[in-house]
Amino acid sequence: MLPFFRINRSIRSIRRYLNIVRVLSTYGFDQALEMLGLADVLVRSRRLLRRKSAPDIARLSAAERMRLALEELGPTFIKLGQLLSTRPDVIPHAFVHEFEKLQDNVPSFPFEELTDQLTRELGGPVESFFATIDPEPLAAASIAQVHRARLISGEDVVIKVRRPGIVELVESDISALMSLARLAERHIPGSEIYDPVALVREFARTIRREMDFSREGHTIEKFRDNFAQTPWMYFPAVYWAQSARGVLTMEYVDGIKVTDRECFDQWGVDRCLIARRGADAFLEMVLSHGFFHGDLHPGNVLILADNVICLLDYGIVGRLDEGLKTFLTDILYAIVNRDMDEVVSLLLFAGDISDNLDIRALKRDLSNFIDGYYEIPLKEIEVGRMLMEFIEIITLYNIRIQPDLMLLAKSLVLIESMGRSLNPAFNMVEHLRPVISKSLRRKYSPRNVSRDINKILFSYLNLARNLPRDLKEFINRINRNKFKIDLEHRGLDKFTADFDRSINRLSISLILAAMIVGSSIIMQTDKGPKFMGFPVLAFTGYTVAGIIGLWLVYAIIRSGRM
């Protein structure tokens, strides 16, 4: 059985898997496919892999070719590229920069399909939920389409409708990606550092949440509850009676985009006030709530009357638990105060480091990084870019960063960019210092210190309680010869496959030689039925041996391994 079929029993569409291989090969990633152990797939499917005739592809960089491949593969892979663009700890900077260009704008699907989808999701005719629906979409993306509508009760709303068939396509693509990730772990040395299977699981979790619009509705309400005491933050209302997993109906909010400068005077927008409020709101999300909007590009920020800010599109959010919030507060405080020793200490204490970490080199690079900011006035420091640069340095030493921290760094860059475009004198450090100081005071308050001490004591108490039992079990296993150590040899699968192929070729060669020798002996006996004056058995043996020999030579030449 071909390796292709062995690894794809769980994939519902082999044609989709072949299409992925075809596209990657088309854009010049044959070597990567061979490293994944898919050389046999490439060889046996060569006739299906029609390459593009355009010579421009060969002149493009690897990052550009991969971006084009992801765009051709469709919505799931575009979303994967967008996720990877927030992970400079996983892919090189050139790929991060290129993947940031990925856009998921696609042609809209017909209005008839929209009404059919609404009927299926809401469980009844569209006329019983909406008085009117604008047939022209406000936006069309790879996962959903957005239309203006009006409820029967008269409220103006927008409805976000999931694209028909997108769930099945995404699930099929996730299965293919998981198979490729497992192949990468088996065949590519050092891939365990990046944990490709865990990366695909993270992506699957993210895109499944994004496709569940009921979850997005609850996210909007959570943000509204978090900012209930903040009158200058507004969140659209969710109409649950007209919503489902594949449909989200929200209040239509009339405002202007943060980039629409021509309307600022007409609406009485105070640019400096908007910049300050936006920064304060984002920092409160991160350091107080531990729950922040993860897609804060200018198109998702509206300005309402009286300088009120409204955020849109809550499909991507980031979460920081208490431990991560504490780590972020401490690391930002150390970076802003240029305390290199504290930065290194925090990284080492976090513990998510490789065994061969060169601490001396890490300290040297971090010192150079911090020294580079000594002569820059605080008001000119861009905290988001500084944090991104810091992350790039520590990822060189295989220090793993939580995905939400990567998303936070990118969001912080966007917030600062919007702030400086509204107010050239915008200073994120000025906003960051009081928030960090407040977080530190809360962290070291007597109540929290007492709580942390109790947690530590309780952990040690559990350790002391379980230690005698664990030690006894360990000794008993040794005494019963039940103590086992599992060893895994990475990369052995490829050697085994090549060895099996060589043995098979050797066996065929021996059979071929035996057929030739046997046919020659029969030829000498000159007995049995004749064909053209030769014994039929001998003639048949030579013919079969010739066919097998030619097939074997052809297979060896096609494999490129003479």
What is the set of active-site residues?
A: 295
* Residue 281 burial (C-beta neighbours within 10 Å; 0-12, 13-18, 19+): buried
Tokens of 197: 């299977």
Any idea what DSSP says for residue 109?
Answer: P
Please, which residues have CB within 8 angstroms of residue 244's CB and are 6 or more apart in sequence? Answer: 121, 122, 123, 213, 214
> CA-CA distances (angstroms) from residue 259 to 73, 265, 307, 367, 435?
32, 13, 14, 38, 27
Any idea what DSSP says for residue 536?
Answer: H
How far is the C-alpha of 261 from the C-alpha of 418, rounded, in Å? Answer: 12
Strand boundaries in 392-496, DSSP class E: none
Please, which residues have CB within 8 angstroms of residue 268's CB and are 6 or more apart in sequence? Answer: 305, 307
How far is the C-alpha of 81 from the C-alpha of 87, rounded, in Å? Answer: 10
> CA-CA distances (angstroms) from residue 109 to 59, 105, 118, 312?
35, 12, 13, 22
Report the run of H or E that residue 248 belongs to, with start and end. Answer: strand 247-251
Give the β-pairing of 308-311 and 233-234.
Answer: parallel
How far is C-alpha 18 from the geometric centre of its chain's CA atoms?
Answer: 22
| Strand, helix or coil for residue 472 | helix
Nearest Cα neighbor of 311 from 255, 367, 261, 262 is 255
| Strand, helix or coil for residue 504 | helix
| Strand, helix or coil for residue 341 | helix
Tokens of 315: 């499909």
Matching residue, tokens 């046919």: 519
